Structure 1
Amino acid sequence: MPPNYTVPALDRAVKVLELLSSSPQGMSLAQLAVQTKVPKSTMFRILFTLQQNSIVVEDHERKLFTLGMKLLDWGNAALSKIDIKTIAHTHLMNLAHATRESFYLAMLDHDEVILIDHVDTPEIWKMVTRLGHRSPFHCTASGLVLSADLASEEIDGMIERQGLRKYTSKTVTTPAKLKKRLEEVKKQGFAVADGEYKPDLCAMAVPVWDHSGHAAVSLMTAVPSDRVSRDKQIVDDLISVLKREALHISKRIGYTGQHPD
Structure 2
Amino acid sequence: MPRAVPAVVRALDILELFLERPQLSARDVMERLDLPRTTVHELLVTLVDRSYLISMPGQPVQYRLGMPLFQLGAAFAGRLDLVREAQSVTRDVAAACNEAVHVAVLDGADVIYLVKVDSTHPVRMVSAVGRRLPAHCTAVGKVLLSDLDRATLDAVLSKGVLPGMTPESITDPDRLREQLERVRAEGVAVDAGESDTAMRCVAAGIRDHRGVVIAGMSVSAPIIRWTPQAHVEWTELVREGAATLSARMGWSAPPR
Aligned to 1:254: 250
Query: With CA pairs under 8 Å and 6+ residues apart, which has the higher RCO, 1 or 2?
Result: 2
Q: Which runs of 5+ in 2 are unaligned?
A: none
State the partner residue of 2:40: 43
Residues 22 and 157 of structure 1, relative CA distance in 2, 3 Å threshold: closer
What is residue 151 of structure 2 aligned with on the other side? 153
In structure 2, the partner of 1:75 is 73
Alignment partners' CA distance in 2, 1:26 and 1:126: 55
Structure 2 counterpart of 1:171: 169
Q: What is the distance in 2 between the residues matched to 1:242 and 1:34?
A: 41
One-letter amino acid of the counterpart of residue 167, structure 1:
M
CA drift at 1:81: 1.5
**Distance (whole Å) between structure 1 residues aligned to residue 206 and residue 236 of structure 2:** 14
Distance of aligned partners of 1:164 and 1:27 in 2 relative to their CA distance in 1, 3 Å threshold:
same
- Note the 1:27-66 alignment, pairs <5 A: 27-28=25-26, 30-33=27-30, 36=33, 39-61=36-58, 62-66=60-64
**Identity, % of aligned positions:** 29
What secondary structure, in the 3-state scheme, does the structure 2 residue paired with 1:138 have? helix
Contact 1:26/1:66 (8 A) holds in 2: yes
2-structure distance, mates of 1:227, 1:20: 48
The alignment covers a number of residue pairs equal to 253
Q: Cα distance 1:153–1:224, how it changes in 2: closer, same or farther (>3 A)? A: same
What is the TM-score of this pair, normalised by structure 1? Answer: 0.87
Alpha-carbon distance in 2 for matches of 1:90, 1:162: 39
Give the Cα separation in 2 of the matches to 1:26 and 1:12. 15
Using the alignment, how far apart are the partners of 2:28 and 2:201 within structure 1? Answer: 53
Assess if the C-alpha contact under 8 Å between 2:110 and 2:141 holds in 1. yes
Match for residue 20 of structure 2? 22
Residue 209 of structure 2 corresponds to which residue in structure 1?
Answer: 211
Q: TM-score, normalised by structure 2?
A: 0.89
> Alpha-carbon deviation of 1:223?
1.0
SS of 2:214 mapped into structure 1: strand
Distance, in Å, in 1 between the alignment partners of 2:86 and 2:167 is 34
CA contact (8 A) 2:205 2:213 kept: yes
* Alignment counterpart, residue 9 of structure 2, candidates 8, 11, 14: 11
Q: Structure 1 residues 162 and 83, CA, compared in 2 at 3 Å: closer, same or farther?
A: farther
2:104 match: 106
Distance 1:76 1:223 in 2: 38
Q: Distance in 2 between matches of 1:188 and 1:36?
A: 36
Query: 2:238 maps to what in 1?
Result: 242
In the alignment, structure 1 segments of 5+ residues that lack a partner are: none
Cα 1:156/1:23, change in 2 over 3 Å: closer
SS in 1 for 2:54: strand
Q: Quickly say closer, same or farther: Cα 1:21–1:157, change in 2 above 3 A.
A: closer
Shift of 1:153: 2.2
Aligned-residue offset at 1:38: 5.1
8 A contact 2:99–2:120 mirrored in 1: no
Q: 1:21 to 1:138 in 2, by over 3 A?
A: closer
Q: Give the structure 2 partner of residue 87 of structure 1.
A: 85
CA distance in 2, matches of 1:192, 1:23: 37
1:137/1:45 CA distance change after superposition, 3 Å: same
